[in-house]
Chain A
Amino acid sequence: MNQAPNRSSVSLRGVEIAYGPVRVLDRLDLEVAQSEFLVLLGPSGCGKSTLLNAIAGLTEVDSGEIWIGGRNVTWEEPKDRGIAMVFQSYALYPRMSVRKNMSFGLEVSGMKRPDVQRRVTEAAAILQITELLDRKPSELSGGQRQRVAIGRALVRDAGVFLFDEPLSNLDAQLRAELRTEIKRLHARLGATMIFVTHDQIEALTLADRIAVMRDRRIQQLGTPHDVYMRPANKFVATFVGSPAMSFLSGHITEGRVFETSTLRLDLSGYAFTAPPSVGMPVDLGIRPEHVVLAPGEAAAIPARVELVEPMGSDLLAWTRIGEAALTVRLSAETPVAPGDILPLMFSTRRLNLFDAQGERL
């Protein structure tokens, strides 16, 4: 668009929300920088949509403050907050044409007709929906509807874009397509974007930073790489990544050695956040792709293959070390069959250790 770049930071300070006795958000602090793409990731019911609604001004907060673009907007109407929003069900006005859907908000705000039309035309061009402008929403496919919904947000020329699971009603192919579209849009507009999803792939591909939420709290806030490689706790470790991280239960012995009934592992290369005490029970988390085959290596750990899943580009071997389950990602050509014993080695730097409370060590 032609307007001067319009970017706002978003800041939540001690935001609390409850529906009667049911708490939905615990004192929550969150800083979103100008032009940042932040993804709120979590299972349904974790409070992520409520958080987004609070930023939009669609849900009242019980305490705390919301700042957008350096202004305290806690008690302002949604329209005055400088935000635009895209919804899961598209929420297009069914009796209005695409053009009218996109111009409605601008007309409400009292903008002059030529300006409205210019903005609608521009936004439609960006999203390649120009030829749809005179259709009704019922005449559009799901992907087209969501493009229109994004277009409706685009014309508002807002400093902050809020996305409430915008892709989850689409099929897999359209989802990927619109995902890249949104990423491209972010690069082009430079606007701040906050995106709610329960899909970790969306989170990893889109985000500058991810806030993983569960039980009314942010569990971890960090770059996709951080969240994936150094999950803050067992929940984040399990929720992000597919197939999920495997866990071996054991304890720490003298000399920083991880020990279970069937294996011993030297942890000297592991970056502990705090020095572990001897004898403390820990869970060792291993991602499938952080396991390597080490034939002929004396220190290799033998794992019995139970099931093999070819994935095209690679294959997954579901194995057991003693009783503990371990998923291993191998190259597609690896000759492996159920019943085989694989000699495995782990890269110590890429391991994840969690204490009995599930917190990262």
Chain B
Amino acid sequence: MSTPRASRHPSGRRPKRLSPSRVGLYAFLLITALFFLTPLYVMLVTSLKPMAEIRLGNIMSLPAAPTLDAWTTAWSRACTGLSCNGISAGFWNSIRILVPSVIVSIMVGATTGYAMSFWRPRGAKLLFAALMVVAFIPYQVFIYPLVRIFSQVGIANSLAGIVLVHTVFGLPTMTLLFRNHFASLPLELFKAARVDGAGFWRIFLQIMMPMAVPIAVVAVILQVTGIWNDFILGLVFAGRDNLPMTVQLNNVVNTTQGERTYNVDMAATLLTALVPLCVYFVSGRWFVRGIAAGAVKG
């Protein structure tokens, strides 16, 4: 063996694999993790039990004979008020709201962020400051005048109205996201494109947007979860025919006549949580990036 002796026998103590503090650390993490997982577990087992079992057993026990009855009921037969069509209608409404809202809000945000970062037109600084403030203001400040304006323009209680609202309130985060990205690119790239004779839109579409794909993914994640999870805007602006899934879910749970069907409630709740949960687990690290980008405003 040519290995020098000294390097095979480090002078310090090798750290013990499981010192008491390590054990404590893992115990804390494990207990906290269980606490965090409990609601998901409870929702799941509840949704798989018949009502009789729920009344007799306790909420933590596994279902004796798992059944998907509550899920099918929640999807297609649960009642909101007088109609008993389940929350599938809400699901499709949410999809119809989600798709155009995500596309439009990202397009507007990307364009605004790009225009601000390289071209610095008149009013850009003031606009940016305004956007930063708005990101923090509760919707209650804007809602009533918005309702009035929308009914004047004729888009109150419509799909167009709710898409516009999501675009308006998504604008600060989307703009910030894209502006910060474009601001981090070397200015020389922009200059090179100008020397090559590319104009505003060509630089945007052919050079900048292809480089902004990762940010666009983050934006999609942020907007899909944000818009899907929205309650208050859907309640106020979507109108009776377009109520999103969250609003319908709340109605289902709160307007059940007679006996409360907790299994159906929990199945409906899980169904509503499914889309953001899928986005979260599929996107993994991107979701964290999205939160970090959306969170660190300014």
A interface residues with partner B (beta carbon < 8 Å): 53, 56-58, 77-79, 83-85, 87-96, 104-105, 108-109, 152, 156, 164
Question: B122 to nearest A CB, angstroms?
Answer: 15
Return the contact of B194 from the options A78, A88, A89, A90 (Cβ within 8 A): A78
On whether A79 and B189 interact (CB within 8 A), knowing A93-B207, A95-B211, A108-B202, the answer reads no
User: What mask results when residues 200 to 215 of chain B are scored 1 for a CB within 8 Å of chain A, else 0?
Assistant: 0010001100110000
Chain A residues positioned under 8 Å from B189 (CB to CB): 89, 91, 93
User: Complex formed: what's the CA distance from A293 to B295 in Å?
Assistant: 71
26 A-B pairs, CB-CB below 8 angstroms? A53-B191, A56-B191, A57-B194, A58-B195, A78-B194, A78-B195, A79-B195, A84-B195, A85-B191, A85-B192, A87-B191, A87-B192, A89-B186, A89-B188, A91-B189, A91-B192, A93-B189, A95-B211, A104-B196, A104-B198, A104-B206, A105-B195, A108-B202, A109-B197, A152-B192, A152-B196
Tell me the dominant secondary structure on chain A's binding face.
loop
Chain A residues positioned under 8 Å from B196 (CB to CB): 79, 104-105, 108, 152, 156
User: Complex formed: what's the CA distance from A283 to B206 in Å?
Assistant: 58
Contact of B124 with A by CB under 8 A: no
List the 8 closest A-B pairs by CB distance, nearest first.
A79-B197, A105-B196, A95-B210, A91-B188, A91-B192, A87-B188, A108-B197, A78-B195
On whether A58 and B191 interact (CB within 8 A), knowing A104-B196, A108-B198, the answer reads yes
Total A-B pairs in contact (CB under 8 Å)? 61
Question: B192 to nearest A CB, angstroms?
Answer: 4
Return the contact of A79 from the options B186, B194, B207 (Cβ within 8 A): B194
Cβ A58 vs Cβ B194 within 8 A: yes
Question: B177 to nearest A CB, angstroms?
Answer: 19
Closest to A93 in B: B207
Chain B residues positioned under 8 Å from A96 (CB to CB): 210
Chain B residues positioned under 8 Å from A57 (CB to CB): 194
User: Complex formed: what's the CA distance from A77 to B191 in Å?
Assistant: 12
Chain A residues positioned under 8 Å from B194 (CB to CB): 57-58, 77-79
Question: A55 to nearest B CB, angstroms?
Answer: 11
Return the contact of B197 from the options A53, A77, A164 (Cβ within 8 A): A77
User: Complex formed: what's the CA distance from A109 to B202 in Å?
Assistant: 12
On whether A88 and B188 interact (CB within 8 A), knowing A95-B210, A108-B202, the answer reads yes
Chain B residues positioned under 8 Å from A93 (CB to CB): 189, 192-193, 207
Known: A89-B186, A89-B188, A104-B198. 10 other contacts (CB 8 A): A58-B194, A78-B195, A90-B188, A93-B193, A93-B207, A94-B211, A104-B193, A108-B198, A109-B197, A156-B196
